[in-house]
């Protein structure tokens, strides 16, 4: 199947733009909406932070949901770009991304619940203040665990994505290798969160490798698009 270069470059740059916007909003949601508010293990301080920064906390939740949507749209654009290389593998990484986005979005409900339980609504008067704070912290831990479950699928999607980038012929092979390597390290990070929660050494590899692989792919797609490929790509 002969691919028109104008079309493929447009699709590549669309995917890159969506990917970059996703990164920006995701980082904003984490830094602005959570990192300075949630203190895991300290229910009283966290509850006070949430209530004193209620609007900021909600903006973080909305930003997180928007980032999830953008990540799915990025996966769709990458599916369109890489479908001619191998349609089945492209569909596989799209489905893996979809499952991860769904789990992450459901997990965000617990962020909202952690704030709702702290409100002074009449139906919550049966709970003492300390009980509400404890429930709020419980919801935050459920969110954190749900988020890490989503990372298992986000790690898995990198393997078929990286393979297709490697085999495409119009994207740098080194990025495909980096994505597949990141799949391994990020999967280990997610699984070790549940199996050995106090072992964080793998993050010193997975975080910088992930930045090189995913952000590198996003920048390449946005700036360079896709280089010319004269040969036909089989479905």
Across the chain, mean pLDDT equals 91
Is the residue at 200 inside a domain? Answer: no
What domain count does the chain have?
A: 1
Is the residue at 206 inside a domain? Answer: no
- Written as six digits, the tokens of 68 are 């999830």
Name the band, by pLDDT with cuts 50, 70 and 90, for residue 6: low
Q: What is the pLDDT of residue 19?
A: 96
Is the residue at 28 inside a domain? Answer: yes
Is the residue at 126 inside a domain? Answer: yes
Structural domain span for residue 112? 5-148+215-223
pLDDT tens for each residue of 64-121: 999 999 999 999 999 999 999 999 999 999 999 999 999 999 999 999 999 999 987 7
The pTM is what? Answer: 0.89
Sign for the CA dihedral angle at 213, 216, 218, 220 comes to negative
Is the residue at 210 inside a domain? Answer: no
pLDDT tens for each residue of 10-66: 899 999 999 999 999 999 999 988 989 999 999 999 999 999 999 999 999 999 999
Is the residue at 102 inside a domain? Answer: yes
Is the residue at 166 inside a domain? Answer: no
Is the residue at 174 inside a domain? Answer: no
User: Over 70: is that where the pLDDT of 130 sits?
Assistant: yes
């Amino acid at each position: 199947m002969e691919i028109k270069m104008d079309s493929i470059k447009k699709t590549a740059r669309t995917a890159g733009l969506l990917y970059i916007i996703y990164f920006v909003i995701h980082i904003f949601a984490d830094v602005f909406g959570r990192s300075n508010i949630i203190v895991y293990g300290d229910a009283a301080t966290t509850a006070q932070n949430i209530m004193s920064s209620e609007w900021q906390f909600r903006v973080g939740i909305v930003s997180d949901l928007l980032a999830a949507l953008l990540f799915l749209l990025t996966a769709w654009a990458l599916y369109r770009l890489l479908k001619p290389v191998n349609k089945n593998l492209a569909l596989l990484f799209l489905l893996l991304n979809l499952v991860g986005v769904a789990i992450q979005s459901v997990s965000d409900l617990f962020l909202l619940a952690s704030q709702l339980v702290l409100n002074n609504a009449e139906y919550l008067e049966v709970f003492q203040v300390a009980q509400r704070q404890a429930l709020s912290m419980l919801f935050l831990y459920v969110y954190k665990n749900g988020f890490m479950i989503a990372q298992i699928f986000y790690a898995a999607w990198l393997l078929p994505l990286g393979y297709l980038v490697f085999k495409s012929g119009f994207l740098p092979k080194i990025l495909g290798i980096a994505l597949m390597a990141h799949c391994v390290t990020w999967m280990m990070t997610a699984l070790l969160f549940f199996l050995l929660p106090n072992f964080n050494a793998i993050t010193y590899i997975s975080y910088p490798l992930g930045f090189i692989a995913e952000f590198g792919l996003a920048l390449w797609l946005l700036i360079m698009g896709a280089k010319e490929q004269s040969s036909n790509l089989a479905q």
